[in-house]
Amino acid sequence: MTKPTKTEHLNSVSLFSGAGIGDLGFRAAGINFIAMCELEEDRSELSKINYKEVEHFNANIEQVADKLCNYVSNHLSTLNEELFLVTCTAPCQGMSKNGQGTLLNNIRKGARPKLDPRNRLILPALNIIEKLKPLWVVFENVIEMRNTVIEDENKKIRPILEIIKDSLSPIGYVGTAYDVEFADYGIPQRRQRLITVYTRDNEAIRRFSAGASLIPPQTHAKNPKGKLSRWVSVDKALADFPPLDGKSEHTAVYSGIPFHYVPVLDPKKYEWIQYTPLGKSAFDNQCVNPKCGFDGNPTHGASHDMDGINRAHKHTPLICQKCGSLLPRPFTEMDDGNKRIMSGYISAYKRMDGSLPAPTLTRNLSYPCSDQKVHSTQNRVLSLAEAMRLHTIDMYKYQWGPLNVTKAKGKKRMKIEHVSDTLIRLVIGESIPPRFLELLGQHIQEFSRLEIPISKNTPYISAPKMVQNALFD
């Protein structure tokens, strides 16, 4: 096992690359992507815009595995270099929240669970890794990956992390999986992911065997001690954005900043949000009748039913118990004119706590009914520009269009000048904050003792330049 003949280029491959959001961090750390593979055409098109020098494989990984390996091998042979990194972000929608032990026990009893086929996409990725033999491998996925079992190539159901280890260990790799909270790295978002790192680099193996971590040290904490800094709050991260209001088209847009606009709220929803206190849900709003102001009305809640499913209560009151006024709580109007509490969990229509990092940004980040998506001080949801800030995208240069995509029916290419807000929300919700991957990229280089120094602990900067990277060419 030897190091690359040359390592100047730090050649790397990205599997399940999405729109290339997370890979911005690796690139900023000096890692050079030579190939990216992504099934979804719109994501792949965004990657092509932002990684013009890369060979893009817009197809199912199983169909292009051999072609990708041949291309990478030939490219490296021409340069007389080895592959530095393969990063793999396989689909996470099918990852199980159930206990792994329970699943395996049920399998032994003959109760075979229905397994999501998307989870098996890790298998062709492992085959690619075994053929290309990079110095480093990084898997990124949801925490639930620890509990996920899949059917391996021998039709045996096994834990996915066990399959990774058994595939890579025989060819010289060592590594492990880490539960990571991105807020612990100065990212103004509470988002947890499982980061699994393997290496076959001799020096890295020596240091890892001696107890060193394959991921960078934590720099921030909720309650910091020693040299750690405090978590970066959502209010601090968004302090320089001009205010918006979801009441009207006039107040919901700030034209001076790309993507700094929010949906106009339905008057009822605006009222629910208007009276929602910091860190609370509109389902818990109290009486706003100026002659009453009673604040002792029962609040919303949830409990587990007989099947163990956590369900929101359906009898949370809508009428003030003291004066009989309608409470500003989310409701649905029935055909007979009566009102009932809207179906929703205690985190729906909830205002963010501005003293903490933002909650996880999901695909539904523009909907107030989603999990904790109401702005901490203003009556609205986050703008896309603010979401880019909280996801650390605006620390890097990234273009959001134009796209060349295929019509669903006609199979003709069409040019879309302005990428949709929906697609932006999707790729943010699917991706990892690139700032963490920049720190990870620097860390693994330091582990390999390359001539690229690891950066100092730099706090998140709320810069006066407003999402300048979001402009279209």
Q: Does domain 11-230+418-470 have CATH number 3.40.630.10?
A: no
- Give the residues across from 37 on adjacent strands: 15, 57
Tokens for 28? 């900023």
Ranking 209-218, 357-366, 407-416 by mean pLDDT, the lowest is 407-416
Report pLDDT for 307.
63
Q: What mean pLDDT comes out for the span 440-463? A: 60
User: Does 414 or 67 have the greater pLDDT score?
Assistant: 67
- Give the residues across from 416 on adjacent strands: 403
- Convert the pLDDT of each residue in 50-101 to its tens digit: 999 999 999 999 999 999 999 999 999 999 999 999 999 876 555 545 444 4
User: Does 371 or 212 have the greater pLDDT score?
Assistant: 212
Ranking 107-121, 150-164, 252-266, 279-293 by mean pLDDT, the lowest is 107-121
* pLDDT band (50, 70, 90) for residue 472: very low
**SS3 assignment for the chain:** CCCCCCCCCCEEEEECCCCCCCHHHHHHCCCEEEEEECCCHHHHHHHHHHCCCCEEECCCHHHHHHHHHHHHHHHHHHHCCCCCEEEECCCCCCCCCCCHHHHHHHHHCCCCCCCCHHHHHHHHHHHHHHHHCCCEEEEEECHHHHHCEEECCCCCEEEHHHHHHHHHHHHCCEEEEEEEEHHHHCCCECCEEEEEEEECCHHHHHHHHCCCCCCCCCCEECCCCCCCEECCCHHHHCCCCCCCCCCCCCCCECCCCCCCECCCCCHHHHHHHHCCCCCCEHHHCCCCCCCCCCCCCCCCCEEECCCCCEEECCCCCCECCCCCCECCCCEEECCCCCEEECCCCCCECEECCCCCCECCCCCCCCCCCCECCECCCCCCECCHHHHHHHCCHHHCCCCCCCEEEECCCCCCEEEECCCCHHHHHHHHHHCCCHHHHHHHHHHHHHHCCCCCCCCCCCCCCCCCCCCHHHCCC
* pLDDT band (50, 70, 90) for residue 467: very low
Report pLDDT for 107.
54
317 preceded by a cis bond (ω within 30 of 0): no
pTM, rounded to two decimals: 0.86
